[in-house]
């Protein structure tokens, strides 16, 4: 078996495992017999285009022919897309603590529009928790929500909503300077070296 077939087999197996599928599950999704999937993953059989297309579709992958010169760029992009950052454990703890505080805040007798704003800001912030690297702001948000729960203060709720919005905006607009990025390992024809 050649290197390309082995690499393809490894890619398909890794994609199946990332999705948490057994060979039997993938068989049901793709309509390819489980025994054939086993042989494909061990590079023990020549893979037919029809089987590859069915497996790729079931694994949310695309089959594309790429010009040889562009292969390094495509591989780099594929690697970066496959590895999404995960939330740090202390950030997950803080978000859980804030979530608990949010449950208590819902019981306060304050203006519903303020409660809705705080909930919306928290929902938005949760979407970006995997980008948070410093949990100090989360501690401050949790403290503001605790103060709102303790004294029923609408000002503390507004402060928490403002802090959540500020943190979320900072995360959305992360300033990634070219000097912070790794140097490219490839250059396509026509690229300017700026």
Q: What is the pLDDT of residue 189?
A: 56
* pLDDT at residue 2 is higher than 80: no
Q: Are 147 and 156 in contact (CB under 8 A)?
A: yes
CA distances from 66 to 70, 72, 152 (A): 7, 10, 60
Q: Please return the burial class of 163, using the count of CB atoms within 10 Å of its CB with bins 0-12, 13-18 and 19+.
A: buried
* 154-174 residue pLDDT tens: 888 888 888 988 888 887 776
Confidence of residue 36 (pLDDT cuts 50, 70, 90): very high
Backbone angles phi, psi at 5, to 5 degrees: -65, -40
Residue 179 is predicted with a pLDDT of 40
Assess contact for 46 and 2: CB atoms under 8 A.
no
Residue 113's pLDDT is what? 85
User: When comparing pLDDT for 103 and 37, which is higher?
Assistant: 37
Q: SS3 letters for 69-80?
A: HHHHHHHHHHHH
Residue 192 pLDDT > 60, yes or no? no
Query: With 90 as the cut, is the pLDDT of residue 90 above it?
Result: no
Which residues contact residue 165 at a Cβ distance below 8 angstroms, ignoring those fewer than 6 apart? 121, 124
- Find out whether 142 and 98 touch, Cβ atoms under 8 Å: yes
> How many C-beta neighbours within 10 Å does residue 7 have?
11
pLDDT at 117 over 60: yes
Q: Residue ranges per domain, the chain?
A: 3-82, 89-172
CATH class of 3-82: mainly alpha
pLDDT band at 180 (very low <50, low <70, confident <90, very high): very low
133 versus 162: the higher-pLDDT residue is 162
Helix and strand numbers, DSSP H then E, in the chain: 9, 0
Over residues 133-139, the mean pLDDT reads: 85
Mean pLDDT of the chain: 80
């Amino acid at each position: 078996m050649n290197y390309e077939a082995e690499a393809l087999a490894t890619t398909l197996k890794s994609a199946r495992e990332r999705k948490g599928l057994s060979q039997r599950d993938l068989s049901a999704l793709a309509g390819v017999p489980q025994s054939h999937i086993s042989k494909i993953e061990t590079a023990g059989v020549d893979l037919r285009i029809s089987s590859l297309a069915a497996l790729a579709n079931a694994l949310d992958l695309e089959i594309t022919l790429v010009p040889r010169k562009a292969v390094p760029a495509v591989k780099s992009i594929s690697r970066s897309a496959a590895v999404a950052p995960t939330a740090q454990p202390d950030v997950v703890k803080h978000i859980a603590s804030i979530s608990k505080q949010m449950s208590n805040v819902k019981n306060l007798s304050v203006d519903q529009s303020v409660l809705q704003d705080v909930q919306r800001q928290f929902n938005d912030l949760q979407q970006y928790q995997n980008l948070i690297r410093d949990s100090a702001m989360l501690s401050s948000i949790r403290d503001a929500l605790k103060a709102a729960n303790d004294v029923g203060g609408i000002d503390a709720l507004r402060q928490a909503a403002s802090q959540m919005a500020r943190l979320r905006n900072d995360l959305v607009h992360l300033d990634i300077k070219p000097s912070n990025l790794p140097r490219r390992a490839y250059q396509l024809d026509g690229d300017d070296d700026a």
